[in-house]
Amino acid sequence: MSATKRTLSGVAALLVATSALAAQGGSRVDGSRAVQLSETTTLLGTSVPRGTYTLRWTREPKSESVKLELAKGKNVVATGKGRWVETDYTSPYEALVYKTGKGTSELSEIQFRKSMDAIRVDLGSTQADASKPQGSDTN
């Protein structure tokens, strides 16, 4: 392989890697994650039966506040708030952290792989909203 072809191959690989990293960083600010529950769990203040859900978050502009939603299909099951925080350690995994108490587990933190950033769920500011389809307006 000529030096020119090796250089072009290296540049192409670098561009692919850079765009993948840029996409990953952006997805942390506004993103989503599939959540597979094997048992009934409390998420955003709502008792959620086993199944597959989508957990979405949106960081408020120029703020540490984060809006959280849990959806099943087009229906929003629960909403809540959180705070964007920097932890004391780098998480080795994409992880959902649960707090156990009173016989139930409740989502308390969303961690990001190879990052000290996390979303801490405000456990007192969550609400159920099981009948509202995503994007619907109640006005």
User: pLDDT (tens digit, 9 = 90+) per residue, 43-95?
Assistant: 888 888 999 999 999 999 889 999 999 999 999 999 999 999 999 999 999 99
Residue 112 placed within a domain:
yes
Contact 31, 12 (CB under 8 A): no
Please tell me which residue, 38 or 135, carries the higher pLDDT value. Answer: 38
Domain count, the chain: 1
H or E element in which residue 55 lies:
strand 51-59
Residue 7 placed within a domain:
no
Residue 68 placed within a domain:
yes
Contact 84, 122 (CB under 8 A): no
Instruction: Say how far residue 126 (Cα) sits from the centre of its chain.
Output: 16
- Report d(CA 4, CA 21) in Å as an integer: 26
Residue 6 placed within a domain:
no
For residue 1, what pLDDT is reported?
A: 53
For residue 82, what pLDDT is reported?
A: 94
* Domain extent at residue 49: 31-133
Residue 22 placed within a domain:
no
Tally helices (H) and strands (E) across the chain. 1, 10
Please give the structure tokens belonging to residue 122: 């405000």
At residue 101 the predicted structure's pLDDT band, cuts being 50, 70 and 90, is confident
Is pLDDT above 70 for 18?
A: no
Residue 21 placed within a domain:
no
For residue 42, what pLDDT is reported?
A: 85
Residue 1 placed within a domain:
no
Residue 38 placed within a domain:
yes
At residue 116 the predicted structure's pLDDT band, cuts being 50, 70 and 90, is very high
> Across residues 105-128, what is the average pLDDT?
83
